[in-house]
Amino acid sequence: MQKERKLKFSTTQTILLSFLGVILIGSILLALPISSATGKSVSYLDALFTATTSVCVTGLVTLPTVSTWSLFGQIVILVLIQVGGLGFIAIVSGVMILLTRRMGIGHKLLIQDAFNLNTMEGLSKFIRNVLLGTLFIEALGAALCMIVFVPQFGERGIWISVFHSVSAFCNAGIDIFAENSLCDYATNPLINGVTSVLIILGGIGYIVWWDVLRVLRSGAIKKGHFWCHLTLHSKIAITTSAILIFGGGLLILICEFNNPATIGELSFFDKMQVSLFQSVTTRTAGFASVPQENLCDTTSVISMAMMLVGGSPVGTAGGLKTVTVAVLLCSAFATIRNKKDATLFARRISYDSIRRAVAVVVAFGCIALVSTTLLAAATGANLLDVAYESVSAIATVGLSRGFTGSLNAWGKLIVIVTMYLGRVGPISLAVALGSQNESQNVISEPEEDISIG
């Protein structure tokens, strides 16, 4: 008797399909009349766009979230954001751990791929800490937001605070209190501060969380040895993030200092906090405290560069990731200086890490270029607006120069695909679509030098 062949998927393909499945389920729910504030169904394409931007924690919206969706629709969006931020596989595995206290090798492989980890050691504890840590920080953020939103919105302010906290931590950038994002709170230190901290904590990566806690528990900080006890990954992520946040904030402050359409009329303190918030939110968060279309062209280019870098690995942020960019730049400078090895913080960067960094950058660049070209052809809009939209989508940021709402059907489909590819990762997609069982050549091909540059 011939055995029935079962369809098997690789771990990467399972992750890709899980994201796609959540998006499709979310789109169906959002297309229901109960999800609409008016009681009439929105178009399926807009429902699909909203589901995609929620699961991919991007934040680009074709319809205003606050006025389009009912409470049920907003709950669906929030669940999609939470699932997208943490990852469907991580949430399911976390529930399984709580119920059964066990995790099979298959699930361990899924978690390892979902979080791009180098080892399967301690995965059950890792997932449990991720879920509990996320819920704690989101709850704390919501409580702080209530200080502002409850007096302003009454009981509804509780729901707004919860939604905003989860959206900020997951770097989604979707809100339910205004159609102009955080523009009405541009000079509110509490909302700016809480939102920025949530964005940074979500984007810095869970690996950095546990590494910092490990060093704090060891007592190294009392001896003045805190920094040297951190892993190389944490040092790169923290340093690169700090440079981007404060360096980017300074550049934005300089470029927008006299721009009356953004911060030109504000006090110096408010100019600094708005500039710093713009620098933080471009790291894949997507909340806007100033209209992005009012930024000068130089600031828009700076913002796009920061969008592409994004947050850090194993977090809720998107983009190329800070560690990827740092490794690539380090390798480039080592080559320019004719050094054999690339080093950071007195540690040699492995050749495999450099290869992966190059592959990620090339893949991101190709997707961004194709997306921009197709979107420009489909809409015929201003090239800066198109490029801003494409980069925002591929880096899962969610900032727009007022362009998303005017997208035609083809434009929406292009952005949907771009957001999905940006979230699941170009390399994961390439691996999933490639052959699983492709054997490696035993005999290497002949080597020959070529001219570069």
> Across residues 234-238, what is the average pLDDT?
92
In a domain, 203, yes or no: yes
Give the three-class secondary structure for 348: strand
In this predicted structure, what is the pLDDT of residue 360? Answer: 86
DSSP string for 384-420: HHHHHHHHHHHTT----SS-GGG--HHHHHHHHHHHH
In a domain, 165, yes or no: no
In a domain, 147, yes or no: no
Q: Using one digit for the tens of pLDDT, what is the confidence trace for 13-52?
A: 777 788 889 999 999 999 999 999 999 999 999 999 999 9
In this predicted structure, what is the pLDDT of residue 443? Answer: 60
In this predicted structure, what is the pLDDT of residue 338? Answer: 87
Give the three-class secondary structure for 90: helix
Residue 98 has pLDDT above 60, yes or no: no
Domain count, the chain: 1
DSSP code for 185? G
CA-CA distance, 354 to 334, in Å (whole number)?
12
In this predicted structure, what is the pLDDT of residue 2? Answer: 46
CA-CA distance, 211 to 227, in Å (whole number)?
11
pTM above 0.85, yes or no: yes
In a domain, 259, yes or no: yes
Q: Using one digit for the tens of pLDDT, what is the confidence trace for 356-388?
A: 888 888 888 999 999 999 999 999 899 999 999
Phi and psi at residue 200, to the nearest 5°: -65, -45
In this predicted structure, what is the pLDDT of residue 372? Answer: 95
CA-CA distance, 75 to 305, in Å (whole number)?
33
Torsion angle of C-alpha atoms 52, 58, 61, 62, degrees rounded to 10: -60
User: Residue 318 is part of which domain span?
Assistant: 179-334
Q: Using one digit for the tens of pLDDT, what is the confidence trace for 198-210?
A: 999 998 988 898 8
In a domain, 304, yes or no: yes
With CA atoms as reference, report the closest residue to 187 among 302, 259, 290, 291.
Answer: 290
In a domain, 377, yes or no: no
In a domain, 136, yes or no: no
In a domain, 32, yes or no: no
Q: Using one digit for the tens of pLDDT, what is the confidence trace for 123-134?
A: 677 777 888 889
Which residues, listed in sequence order, are joined to residue 343 by a DSSP beta bridge? Answer: 348
Q: pLDDT band at residue 3, thresholds of 50, 70 and 90?
A: very low
